[in-house]
Amino acid sequence: MKVALVRLREAGPHMTYKLCEGVGINDYVIVEADRGVDYGEVMETSEMDSLKKEDKNTSYKTILRKVTQQDCDQISENKKSAKDTMKLCSRKVKEYKLSMKMVDVEYSFDNKKIVYYFTAEGRVDFRELVKDLAKIFKRRIEMRQIGVRDEARIFGGVGPCGQSLCCVRFLKNFEPVSMKMAKAQKLPLSSGKISGICGRLMCCLFYEYKAYRELAKGLPKEGNIIETPQGAGKVLSVNVLKRLAYVQLDDGRIEKSMFKEGESAVKMPKNK
């Protein structure tokens, strides 16, 4: 049996569902959701056997069908309604003097729930706001606090690489990114060079770091004394992607030393 990872609505959570026949990656589908029916996009598919042991025992809900033209019309109508809903909610936030910034709003497909996304520096007591909105719209109201990375995912954009943001295209979860990952790639450590449009370290550093660690296996480090075909020398710099080291020999000449995949540098004592 196959399962599918589905991103609910445009910016909702990723959920795993049983895959029905005729549905593939990038298809928009109608799914069973908590307290009703919702829509989403299929992000990836896999065999049940490939899941973790604890996930195999989970009872997954089912993808009901691919969206129809009628479904698309309903989704478009919901999006139009959401714009007016957002304006009213923003006014209410000011009335209640809440320290929160409204980012986006979504209607569930069945029109029974409205989900608001907001950012805030700390916790916000929005209980009275929710009660007020529920009375006005006669629907279940859900307030979801998100981070700046989630905000970037919602609005989208283009990264320094010239492509749309990783978080929009394929990332399912936000992994922790550290300066160590930038240093491993010898990137300039100024925030403007290694930060995304969200102001945080770029997500690509996380998965590129794994590739750099794998490619760096067997390569010498700067300062190592290694043996080369031209003689022993000190490593001045290393290009991990090309598996290339620049080595200064005893006579002062600087030579390039290439390493094939799986090949390791022959290190020598520094005092030699």
- pLDDT tens readout for residues 149-161: 989 888 888 888 8
The size of the chain, in residues, is: 272
Give all domains of the chain, ordered by start, each with its CATH number.
2-67 (no CATH), 73-146 (3.30.300), 150-214 (no CATH), 225-268 (no CATH)
Each residue of 15-34: pLDDT tens digit?
889 888 888 888 999 998 87
Tell me which of 35-49, 118-132, 147-161 is least confident. 35-49
More confident residue, 179 or 264: 179
Residue 265's pLDDT is 67
pLDDT at 58: 67
Q: Which is more confident, 14 or 177?
A: 177
Residue 117 confidence (pLDDT) above 50: yes
* pLDDT at 53 exceeding the cut of 60: no
pLDDT, tens digit, 9 for 90 and up, residues 135-154:
999 999 999 999 999 898 88
Q: What is the mean pLDDT of residues 192-221?
A: 88
Give the residue from 22, 10, 27 showing the smallest Cα distance to 75. Answer: 10
Model confidence at 272, pLDDT cuts 50, 70, 90, reads very low
Q: Angle at Cα 186 formed by Cα 222 and Cα 189, nearest 5°?
A: 130
pTM of structure: 0.71
User: What would the pLDDT profile of 214-261 be if each residue is shown by its tens digit?
Assistant: 888 888 888 899 888 888 889 999 988 888 889 999 888 998 888 876
